[in-house]
Chain A
Amino acid sequence: MAGKKLETFLEQAAAVVQDFFPAGSPVLIPILYSSIVWAVKRKGDLETEVSGLKLWLEPEIVNNKPDEFILDFFKGDQALAETFNLELKNGEIKSLRQAFRALYPVKGLEEPFLQSLFSEELTKGDYRQIAAQFDRRLRLALDEIKAAGDRPEWWPALKKIGENFLSLGWALTAEPELRARLKASLEKNKQTEDEE
């Protein structure tokens, strides 16, 4: 019963946030997730919570890792090793370094915003897609968040979602579960739209 309620809430919340973004935008999960996390912590302000998403996106550390570290990253993860088997076999360190730039923050450092942004690819294990899409999708996501943030009704709408989540008593829902449910709700919404 509680699960059903949560689903309904997430669907409604997604529908509200969806109005601020172009169709099919990848930022819905990260944004909804941030507003809920903000509400659960009940500290700081929502703008900071959402703006704080950008704090981790500094690629400098990642760019300068030694070759051995990069090879170890790919070889140490079975799924990555299988996906990049050819590059590993041929010692194509340049291609691996390029992919590492995208995959290390997502899969190594488990940066929450990026994990939400690429949640679909992570579930499918489509790591090449993450590497290929990384820069473009990230830029798009940040641009979309900025554009939504410029609209006056944006922050109150997001705040309301967070507060409603809290008032319904789901503050203790585990992070991965919450993310998975958000994703399911968004997919369901999309499916309904497609059918219509």
Chain B
Amino acid sequence: MKKPDSGRCNNKLRLSSLAGGGSGLKLVVVFFALIFLIGCASSSLLRAKTDYLQAERLQRSLRQEEAVAAYQKTRQEISATISRKPSGEAYLLKGLTEVNLDLWEEAESSFRLAASLGEDKAQAWAEELRLFGLARSFEAQGWAETSVRLYGVLAEKGKYQPVVRAAVGRLVDLRLKALVDFSEPLEAAQKEKNKILAEALKIVERAVEQEPACGYYHYLLAQVLAHQKDYNQSLEEAVMAKELGLPSEEIWRDNDLQVIFCYEQLEKNLQPGELAAFRARYHSWIKKWKWPDETTPDWKRS
């Protein structure tokens, strides 16, 4: 049986496939190139994510310069990925990296782009960064009350951890600064000083309640309690801060010196009955930290 139609049809098919051979090949090439590029973009995104995690690890180990270098590398990688294939996830990672590099304005812009590409939570983060930037500008211009109000809003209602921590830090700094700058005679000033300290304490206690495992908040608490001359509690908070981890080597060392200061004050002020138990507790900590003696931290050279 003759099947002319099917023959024609086959011919047609062959002809069309012959006629379209070049563009078909092109399509295949384009398809594979696309797959390759998507693969490259997602593998470079994956690489950037790995580098970001490595940078976080370095930061936690207080290897500051190396952490900064790792964040910078992550930022370069993620920028290259974005130029090939922009995505909400990539912009989000870029923003997170920029926050760690203290490039908060750039981070705000990255989060806004991430939000416009579907990363909803980034919008709120961008708003918080903007508010913090605004508070810093007010503070720099001497509008202390306005900046305190903005930091207060962020400390209380903020959702993005780095901004909330920075806002709490600034609030406590400003409160303590007011305390230190107080030039009234001691007795007249005492009531006002107590009020300022109570405010500072309330700010940090609320922050600790919200994030109890944040070493930085315990560090701040130790600072405030030292102003109240509650050296026992201040020492406990400083120990807790050291155990939970602190954001920079400078703060880490300052916290160690706070531990020593409290130890020396308690040595002078505790009753003989309390001293033995206190010393035993203190020695167990410094043994754990490998300090050569009660008043020499491991990093001390001179």
The answer to whether B250 and A110 touch across the interface, beta carbons within 8 angstroms, is no
Chain B residues within 8 Å of chain A by Cβ, number = 32
Among the listed A44, A68, A122, which residue makes an inter-chain contact with B265, where contact means beta carbons less than 8 Å apart? A68
- The 8 A CB mask of A95-122 against B (1 = contact, 0 = none) is 0010000000101111100000000001
Among the listed A61, A69, A108, A109, which residue makes an inter-chain contact with B226, where contact means beta carbons less than 8 Å apart? A69
Q: Counting chain A CB atoms within 10 Å of each CB, which of B70, B257, B299 scores highest?
A: B257
The answer to whether B173 and A64 touch across the interface, beta carbons within 8 angstroms, is yes
The answer to whether A44 and B66 touch across the interface, beta carbons within 8 angstroms, is yes
The answer to whether B250 and A64 touch across the interface, beta carbons within 8 angstroms, is no
The answer to whether B257 and A109 touch across the interface, beta carbons within 8 angstroms, is yes
The answer to whether B176 and A72 touch across the interface, beta carbons within 8 angstroms, is no
The answer to whether A60 and B250 touch across the interface, beta carbons within 8 angstroms, is no
Kindly identify, within residues 2 to 54 of chain A, every residue whose CB is under 8 Å from any CB belonging to chain B.
Answer: 38, 41, 43-45, 48-49, 51-52
The answer to whether B264 and A48 touch across the interface, beta carbons within 8 angstroms, is no
Q: Does B300 lie at the interface of the complex (its beta carbon under 8 Å from any beta carbon of A)?
A: yes
Which residue from chain A places its CB closest to the CB of B256 in the assembled complex? A109
Q: Does B253 lie at the interface of the complex (its beta carbon under 8 Å from any beta carbon of A)?
A: yes
What's the nearest-Cβ distance from chain A to residue B115, in Å? 30
What's the nearest-Cβ distance from chain B to residue A183, in Å? 15
Kindly list chain A residues whose C-beta atoms are within 8 Å of the C-beta of B249. 56
Kindly list chain B residues whose C-beta atoms are within 8 Å of the C-beta of A152. none
Q: CA separation between A94 and B302, bound complex, in Å? A: 26
Q: Does B251 lie at the interface of the complex (its beta carbon under 8 Å from any beta carbon of A)?
A: yes
Kindly list chain B residues whose C-beta atoms are within 8 Å of the C-beta of A63. 177, 180
The answer to whether B248 and A110 touch across the interface, beta carbons within 8 angstroms, is no
Among the listed A44, A69, A105, which residue makes an inter-chain contact with B68, where contact means beta carbons less than 8 Å apart? A44
Chain A residues within 8 Å of chain B by Cβ, number = 32
Kindly identify, within residues 244 to 293 of chain B, every residue whose CB is under 8 Å from any CB belonging to chain A.
Answer: 248-251, 253-254, 257-258, 261, 264-265
What's the nearest-Cβ distance from chain A to residue B238, in Å? 12
- The 8 A CB mask of A52-76 against B (1 = contact, 0 = none) is 1001101011011110110010001
Q: CA separation between A108 and B295, bound complex, in Å? A: 12
The answer to whether A48 and B173 touch across the interface, beta carbons within 8 angstroms, is no
Kindly list chain A residues whose C-beta atoms are within 8 Å of the C-beta of B70. 44
The answer to whether A109 and B253 touch across the interface, beta carbons within 8 angstroms, is yes
Q: Does A156 lie at the interface of the complex (its beta carbon under 8 Å from any beta carbon of B)?
A: no
Number of residue pairs A-B, CB distance < 8 angstroms: 77
Q: CA separation between A60 and B97, bound complex, in Å? A: 24
The answer to whether A176 and B301 touch across the interface, beta carbons within 8 angstroms, is yes
The answer to whether B261 and A72 touch across the interface, beta carbons within 8 angstroms, is yes
The answer to whether B250 and A45 touch across the interface, beta carbons within 8 angstroms, is no
What's the nearest-Cβ distance from chain A to residue B104, in Å? 15
Kindly list chain A residues whose C-beta atoms are within 8 Å of the C-beta of B229. 66, 68
Which residue from chain A places its CB closest to the CB of B70 in the assembled complex? A44
Given A43-B66, A64-B173, also A55-B248 (CB < 8 A): yes
Which residue from chain B places its CB closest to the CB of A93 in the assembled complex? B180
The answer to whether A56 and B250 touch across the interface, beta carbons within 8 angstroms, is yes
The answer to whether A64 and B257 touch across the interface, beta carbons within 8 angstroms, is no
What's the nearest-Cβ distance from chain B to residue A73, in Å? 8
The answer to whether A64 and B177 touch across the interface, beta carbons within 8 angstroms, is yes
Which residue from chain B places its CB closest to the CB of A60 in the assembled complex? B173
A-B contact pairs, 23 of them (CB 8 A): A41-B65, A43-B66, A44-B65, A44-B66, A44-B69, A44-B70, A45-B69, A55-B64, A55-B65, A55-B248, A55-B250, A64-B177, A64-B223, A65-B180, A69-B226, A69-B261, A72-B264, A72-B265, A105-B250, A109-B250, A110-B253, A122-B302, A176-B301
